[in-house]
Amino acid sequence: MRRKLAAGNWKMNGLAADLAQIDMLVAALPSCDVDVLICPPTTLLERMSRRATGIFTGAQDCHAATNGAHTGDVSAAMLVDAGASHVILGHSERRADHGETDAAVCAKLLAAWAADLVAVVCVGETQAQYESGETLDVIRRQLAGSIPDGPTSARLVVAYEPVWAIGTGLVPSLAEIGAVHGFIRAELAARFGERTAQGVRLLYGGSVKPGNAAQIFAVADVDGALVGGASLKADDFVPIVTALNAA
Ligand code: PGA
């Protein structure tokens, strides 16, 4: 059985005052059979980790090197030192804004694993790729290039995030979400074996809201969500966690 995971990605949002949202989240969480993860900006990671009782905290990126002359970057060990248990890698915003290639993402996964972080690796097609029917080819390529050999189901999570669904209010049909998630699990099985593939959590991400969460969580092979905008406020995120718990 895969334990469900509700993950929040705060992106470049949040100041000290917003830590109050975490207190509200902790207070409002149902007694839960799901894992809850919040990935705040790095500046809040340590403070959030200290007060987020019962919630995992994670980062949104790490450098591939363990340390050294990389001005402005943060290593996986530093994230662990600040309280992180997870790290999002290969988010489409980093692929677009920072030119991160699959090979770069792959190197970061190795660094994350070496530091004992769980890697939440993101894949997803652009609108143009979606419209030209390339979705599965893109996903296949990103999975092959971004995930190194040697994953275990405990340290790998895959998030399917269509780029065109992020922050837009657009969501693929439930059939499309199911098809892509099934495809991802089959790709993982072909490369890493059925046992590993059956244990890896697959998240859907892209405009998940309290109003659509339950439907999305009912789709086969969806083990949770990676939530951006609706993770910033406890009032939005709690109903999403509750819907996942009920799924
Ligand atoms: P969104 O972002 O929920 O705001 O669409 C999702 C993500 O980018 O992880």
Active-site residue (options: 91, 93, 125, 181): 91
Sign (positive or negative) of CA dihedral 182, 180, 216, 189: positive
Residues 28-31: contacts with CB within 8 Å, 24+ apart? 28/234, 28/238, 29/54, 29/55, 29/238, 29/241, 30/238, 30/241, 30/242, 30/245
Q: Which pTM value belongs to this model?
A: 0.97
Predicted local distance difference test score (pLDDT) of residue 29: 85
Predicted local distance difference test score (pLDDT) of residue 32: 78
Which of 38, 158, 161 to probe ligand 1 with, by most ligand atoms within 8 A of CB? 161
How remote is the CA of residue 68 from the centroid of ligand 1, in Å? 32
Predicted local distance difference test score (pLDDT) of residue 106: 98
Residues 6+ apart with CB under 8 A from 164: 125, 126, 127, 130, 170, 206
Fold of 5-246: TIM Barrel (3.20.20)
Does residue 134 have an active-site annotation? no
Q: CA-CA distance, 112 to 17, in Å (whole number)? A: 29
Q: What are phi and psi of 95, to 5 degrees?
A: -60, -40
Q: CA-CA distance, 32 to 167, in Å (whole number)? A: 27
Q: What are phi and psi of 82, to 5 degrees?
A: -90, 0
Query: Whose CA is closest to atom 9 on ligand 1?
Result: 228
Q: Is 93 helix (H, G, I), strand (E, B) or coil?
A: helix
Does residue 194 have an active-site annotation? no
Predicted local distance difference test score (pLDDT) of residue 205: 98
User: Contact, 163 vs 126, CB < 8 A?
Assistant: yes
Q: CA-CA distance, 233 to 21, in Å (whole number)? A: 6
Query: Whose CA is closest to atom 7 on ligand 1?
Result: 228
CA end-to-end span of the chain, whole Å?
13
**Tokens matching residue 179:** 């098809």
Q: Is 86 helix (H, G, I), strand (E, B) or coil?
A: strand
Which of 226, 231, 237 to probe ligand 1 with, by most ligand atoms within 8 A of CB? 226
Query: Whose CA is closest to atom 3 on ligand 1?
Result: 228
Q: CA-CA distance, 27 to 160, in Å (whole number)? A: 29
User: Contact, 49 vs 80, CB < 8 A?
Assistant: no
Kindly give the confidence (pLDDT) of every residue in the chain, 247 residues in length, as a single tens digit, with 9 standing for 90 and above: 899 999 999 999 999 999 999 999 999 886 778 999 999 999 999 999 999 989 999 999 999 999 999 999 999 999 999 999 999 999 999 999 999 999 999 999 999 999 999 999 999 999 999 999 999 999 999 999 999 999 999 999 999 999 999 999 999 999 999 999 999 999 999 999 999 999 999 999 999 999 999 999 999 999 999 999 999 999 999 999 999 999 9
Q: CA-CA distance, 71 to 131, in Å (whole number)? A: 39
Active-site residue (options: 93, 125, 161, 187): 161
Q: CA-CA distance, 190 to 144, in Å (whole number)? A: 11
Atom of ligand 1 nearest to the CA of 159: 9
Predicted local distance difference test score (pLDDT) of residue 124: 98
User: Contact, 90 vs 105, CB < 8 A?
Assistant: yes
Q: Is 160 helix (H, G, I), strand (E, B) or coil?
A: strand
Of 190, 219, 188, the residue nearest 204 (C-alpha): 219
Instruction: Check residue 69 and report its DSSP letter.
Output: S
Atom of ligand 1 nearest to the CA of 227: 3
Enumerate residues lining ligand 1, CB below 6 A: 9, 161, 166-167, 205-208, 226-230
Instruction: Break the chain into its structural domains and give their ranges.
Output: 5-246
Atom of ligand 1 nearest to the CA of 230: 3
